[in-house]
Amino acid sequence: MTSRYVALGSSMAAGPGIRPRAAGSPIAAGRSARNYPHLAAQRLGLDLFDVTYSGATTANVLGEPQHGAPPQIDALDGSEDLVTVTIGGNDVGYVPLLFAATLPAVLRALPVLGDKLRELMDPAARAAALNQVGASLREVGQVLRQRSPRARILFVDYLTLLPPPGTPAPPLTDAIADLGRHVAQRLAEQTADAAEATGCEVISAADASREHHAWSADPWTIGAGSLLPFRPKPFHPNAAGMQAVADLIAARCAQP
């Protein structure tokens, strides 16, 4: 009997724009047939239930439906051998802040949209969100452990998007790039803390991809760009990044 693998998370796990789209998946999910859950399942010979969904937050994992899709936690039935989850970035506005910074400045002058864009790029607002996400990530770990008591549960953190400090990341300003690095570092730390506190494990995709940021010679992620259809989305993994994360998962699962 094939072992059951459930993949949870946001667009960083779903792989929007990496062709082909996962058969039967909602268009809004942006779920690729070549995302890391699919690649890891193939590598490990697992029966995959992929409910990753672009735009998901910890609330969408735990209890809130998303575009008609049930909470992701509903995919668990207790028979799982492996669960992976990549979540938290939308809670803290990580990718949204980077994307907002690449939009034309005139949009920030608009009454409603402008307020939201400025809030995304506000360090104090990002700090407040970071102060809250740790508890949400721990709740995810606790509920996953309760619902899948015999599973190996892996928090997979976010691939590195930005170059190291002092390295330009055009068209982002240095201030925005520094804010993005801070958010990414704190999110990775809180993901690791949540995994340890709840008896789960962490796959540190962030550490593994330091030299493969979006401005590097061998990128595992996409930098700034346009939202062209059927192309990997800006500030998201590319196909090489998804393969690299799948390799990390396979290597961990080979360990006792």
pLDDT tens readout for residues 76-123 = 999 999 999 999 999 999 999 999 999 888 887 788 888 899 999 999
- pLDDT, position 212: 98
Enumerate the H helices of the chain as residue ranges: 11-14, 36-44, 58-62, 89-92, 94-101, 113-120, 123-147, 174-197, 205-208, 239-253
Distance of CA 63 to the CA centre of its chain: 18
* Cα separation, 204 vs 71, whole angstroms: 25
Q: In what order do the strands lie in the sheet with 47-50?
A: 47-50, 4-9, 82-86, 152-156, 201-203
Beta pairing partners, 84: 7, 154
Closest CA to 97 of 168, 187, 37, 210: 187
Q: What is the pLDDT of residue 227?
A: 59
Residues of the chain with pLDDT under 70: 1-2, 226-231
Q: Which residues contact 84 (CB under 8 A, 6 or more apart)?
A: 5, 6, 7, 8, 9, 13, 36, 37, 40, 153, 154, 155, 156, 203, 249
Instruction: Please tell me the predicted confidence (pLDDT) of residue 109.
Output: 76
- For residue 37, the model assigns a pLDDT of 98
Give the distance from CA 146 to its chain's centroid.
Answer: 22
Strand 47-50 to strand 152-156: parallel, antiparallel, or no bridges (unpaired)?
unpaired
CA distance 5 to 46: 6
C-beta of residue 39 within 8 angstroms of C-beta of residue 243 = yes
* Residue 195 · residue 202 · CB < 8 Å: yes
* 67/176 Cα distance (integer angstroms): 31
User: How high is the mean pLDDT of the chain?
Assistant: 95
